[in-house]
Amino acid sequence: MRKIFLAISISALIAACTIDRSEFPSLEVGQDFTDSNVRVLVLDSFTVKLSTFKFDSINTSSSERLLVGSYKDEYFGEVKSAAFFELTRSTTESTTNIYDLPEDAELDSIALILGYDRYFYNDTTSVSQINVHLIQEDVEPEDDIFYNTSTLKFDSVPLTTRNYFPEPFDEDSLHISIPFEFGRNIFDLLQGNDINDTDELREVLKGFSLQPGSLDNGAVIGFSRGSENTYLRFFYSVPEEFEDDEQSFDLVINPFPEFPIAFNSITSMIDSTDLEGLIDQEIEISSTESDNLAYIQSGTGYAVKVEFPSIKDIFDVPGSGTLLKATLRIKPLRTSYNDFTTLRDSLVVSFLDRNNLAGAQLENSNGRVFGRLIGENEEFLDVTYEIPVDRYIDFKLNEIREGDDALVLFLNEFNSTINRVVLQGEENRDFKASLELTYAIYDDE
């Protein structure tokens, strides 16, 4: 199973091949090009090949967000995310036994509180459903990581179900009542000191899986993993002489676990779409074979490979030259985004090897390189992504042995969102993906 990883080998080569303008003749202020033998050319006839592929898996256990929800997407099919997590007693309270409860305490109610973290994708005006299921096996990854493709066994019948209108900006949290009898069983065991540590708690409560409704077509909602925002709260009273003193204690997602104890399982049902055949990371589909479109989606692993097969045609230009600037321009498909499926303002640009394994992020003299949205209309009606690829193109022009490397485009928070973007390919009638080079010829004798 291949995973997204970081490498520095290609970036080290590019650093060694950065543009050296020390031998490039400089022009004095006021000097006319006609007074020198320098010609500056702007060329944009190079082939840009865009392909879509899918990473085999993405580490979602490192995310600080729980993603729950489902919606139907025109390009990616049914997109669904379910959350899995283990609970333990908060260690912030200073007690000898962190599960201590007064002997005369009486349980009043129990609730799962999910704190909104203000992330959502798609339509929050539709009713969503959360089904709370009990996990049937320990939340322990086989190889120290949970991925978007991971899952755990859970009870088929939910412990409880909550229908709600998501309000990630208007409300702090979502309150889900837990059946009293289930809560009282755990409460009694804690109170009777039958549960004294996390291992003993696991025997009774291995954790929860939050599953969206099978018919949901609304939004994927982000909830915080933070112990101050998301917790299973037991409300109890201690009888007093004049009135009951209501108190509570919480079970939380451990913020400092020895191994991952929470993750998101993210899937997309892509039957009968252009992406149906992408079942292995080394398989890719050219935009020319997918309606001149290329696809990126976080969470599920879709990314865009970029190649420049004709870049060395620039050597057909007579004379010695120096690359001054290289800009890749790609336009998002106008009909693919709206107020629900919003357009993201940047793309991450990294190296990609021959097996479609991602490496280090592309850098230039200003730091890490991103694709930035360029356009005057604030509502993104006519915009393009512009990507400075000077160093990569310079590397390709100066490589001794031609390699099979490429660039890969994906979105920020690739492991903790389901954001997506649809890009127009190299033969799109509206706007062709293009590479523009500014090239200086200073010896054409």
**So what's the pLDDT on residue 143?**
86
Look at the block and give the residue holding tokens 């990294």.
350
**So what's the pLDDT on residue 270?**
82
**So what's the pLDDT on residue 11?**
41
Look at the block and give the residue holding tokens 């709370």.
132
Burial of 425 (C-beta count, 10 Å sphere; 0-12/13-18/19+): buried
Angle at CA 182, nearest 5°, toward 179 and 185? 145
CB atoms near residue 26 (< 10 Å): 9
Beta carbons of 38 and 441 less than 8 angstroms apart: yes
**So what's the pLDDT on residue 10?**
38
**So what's the pLDDT on residue 238?**
87
**So what's the pLDDT on residue 376?**
55
pLDDT digit string (tens) for 289-331?
999 999 999 999 999 999 999 999 999 888 888 999 999 999 9
**So what's the pLDDT on residue 400?**
84
Q: Helices 9-16 & 390-398, crossing angle to 10 degrees?
A: 80
In this prediction, the residues of the chain whose per-residue pLDDT falls under 70 are 1-36, 91-98, 241-245, 272, 376-381, 443-445
**So what's the pLDDT on residue 12?**
38
**So what's the pLDDT on residue 377?**
56
pLDDT digit string (tens) for 165-219?
999 999 999 999 999 999 999 999 999 989 988 899 999 999 999 999 999 999 9
**So what's the pLDDT on residue 91?**
63
Distance CA 409, CA 104 (A): 60
Distance CA 287, CA 295 (A): 9
E strand spans, 123-218: 128-134, 160-164, 173-177, 208-212
